[in-house]
């Protein structure tokens, strides 16, 4: 069994909610215009097949100088592209930064949901509820939250 087949066999079926494809272009437009949208940033990643840069709004979680991005709906296109490229560009209010990405292994993902995202969301009024409703993730169950949801730590590119 190949790594890709093995990964697909153990990954639960996660589906992108209907509103995400509608929200993406609007968020992209607003972020390009400099409108702050919480933790969302424009992330540009080179396409793994086409080689064409693809830009999508993604929430960047930053705590104590460390940054992560995660995919609430599993193996979506930007995840596959970032995994292949290993690098991206983050843009906020016209400022761009090149980054490299390291994918967290299953144990590291559990720790991310338990020790990073959970406390971070709990520090904001309604944060846990927002993540549960918008992303379909129960942060009170980090083992289940980590299952099938890739997480990448971002580092400044050399």
pLDDT tens-digit readout, 73-103: 999 999 999 999 999 999 998 899 999 999 9
Check: pTM over 0.85? Answer yes or no: yes
Contact predicate 57/29, CB 8 Å: no
- Residue given tokens 């992330």 in the structure block: 43
The model's pLDDT over 95-133, given as tens digits with 9 standing for 90+, comes to: 999 999 999 999 999 999 999 999 999 999 999 999 999
Domain housing 27: 3-156
β-sheet bridge partners, residue 67: 62, 154
Rounded to a whole number, what is the distance in angstroms from the first to the last CA of the chain? Answer: 35
How many domains, the chain? 1
> What CATH number should be reported for the domain holding residue 49?
2.30.110.10
């Amino acid at each position: 069994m190949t790594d890709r087949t093995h990964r697909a066999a153990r990954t639960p079926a996660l589906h992108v909610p209907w509103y995400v494809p509608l929200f993406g272009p609007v968020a992209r437009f607003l972020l390009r215009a400099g409108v702050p949208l919480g933790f969302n940033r424009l992330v540009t990643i080179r396409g793994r097949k086409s080689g064409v840069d693809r830009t999508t709004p993604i929430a960047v979680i930053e705590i104590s100088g460390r940054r992560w991005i995660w995919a609430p709906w599993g193996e979506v296109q930007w995840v596959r592209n970032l995994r292949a490229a290993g690098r991206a560009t983050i843009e906020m209010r016209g400022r761009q930064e090149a980054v490299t990405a390291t994918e967290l292994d299953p144990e590291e993902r559990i720790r991310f949901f338990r020790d990073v995202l959970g406390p971070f969301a709990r520090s904001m009024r309604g944060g846990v509820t927002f993540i549960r409703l918008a992303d379909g993730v129960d942060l009170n169950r980090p083992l289940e939250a980590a299952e099938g949801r890739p997480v990448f730590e971002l580092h400044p590119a050399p």
